[in-house]
Structure formats: structure tokens, C-alpha cells
Amino acid sequence: MPSITVNVDDDLKERMKKHPEINWSEVTRQAVQEKIETLEMMDELASESELTERDVQEIANGINERGRERVEGESE
């Protein structure tokens, strides 16, 4: 099986060391697999969509703006 290298900052590495019972390679492998499956599903859905890239960007901008407004409203 091929290997990859993952860089983490010193703080995260120290926190990981506190849990030697965890197979961090397996946790990382599962996270990568879940992300790939999500991306593949998104690609499949997008291939069937009639939205243009501009349409998608406008939708994403609207979602981001509403998210910012919600976070700002919660912090007040």
C-alpha cells in the first residue's frame, strides 16, 4: 500500500501523542476516503447540472454571506 506524509503543527502533534491508542494513520485514511467520496458525489451531481460556473459562484457567495451574517448575529 502506498504511503503519504501529512504535516501537522507542533501543538497538534503533542495532542495526538496524548492518545497513543489511536491509529492516526487509519483516522487520516478514513478522512481522506470520506472527502474523496464527497467530491466524487459532487462531481457526479455537477455533471448532471445545467448551472454555469458563474451560477454556482453566485450561490456560494450568497451562502457565505448568510453564514457571516448568522455568525455576526450570534456573537452580538
Q: Domain for residue 1, yes or no?
A: no
Q: Domain for residue 67, yes or no?
A: yes
Terminal CA-CA length for the chain = 51
Contacts of 46 (CB under 8 A, 6+ apart): 56
**For residue 8, is pLDDT > 80?**
yes
Q: Domain for residue 16, yes or no?
A: yes
Residue 71: which domain range? Answer: 11-75
* pTM for the full predicted model: 0.60
Q: Domain for residue 2, yes or no?
A: no
Give tens-digit pLDDT for 28-76: 999 999 999 988 988 887 787 788 878 878 888 899 888 888 888 876 6
Q: How many domains does the chain have?
A: 1
**What was the pLDDT predicted at 55?**
85
